[in-house]
Amino acid sequence: MSQKADAKSLLEIFESLDAERQRSLLHFAQYLHSQGGLVKKEIGVPRDIPRPESETVVGAIKRLKHTYPMVESMAVFSAASSLMTDHMVKGRDATEVINDMEKLFDDFYRQMLQDIE
């Protein structure tokens, strides 16, 4: 199982317990955490995938997902979807939208780096 799947499973188990058992599980997790041996989370570096000269907004999202595989947050994809909607519904220029998407992914990546320090 992946770490993300493990975390989801743990949360589902926690939410299925009554309040007393939730406290016990939390105390056990705090005990394990206090025992040391913490591992610093490795984020990795973005992949160097050049931006094509004539790229669509959808293509940019796909490229940025591959460039920043460590950015899994639904918040970044929600914001990217909003930018795509600006382009498709409101007619916003594709180049501007792609520039904003690149900045968005980079900002999320930089925030992840700050969060682990």
Domain boundaries, the chain: 3-34, 57-116
Whole-number average pLDDT of the chain = 88
In which band, very low, low, confident or very high, does the pLDDT at 101 lie, cut at 50, 70 and 90? very high
Mean pLDDT of 86-109: 95
- The answer to whether residue 39 scores a pLDDT higher than 70 is no
61: Cβ contacts below 8 Å, ≥ 6 apart: 80, 84, 101
Give the range among 13-17, 57-61, 68-72 with minimum mean pLDDT. Answer: 68-72
Distance of CA 3 to the CA centre of its chain: 14
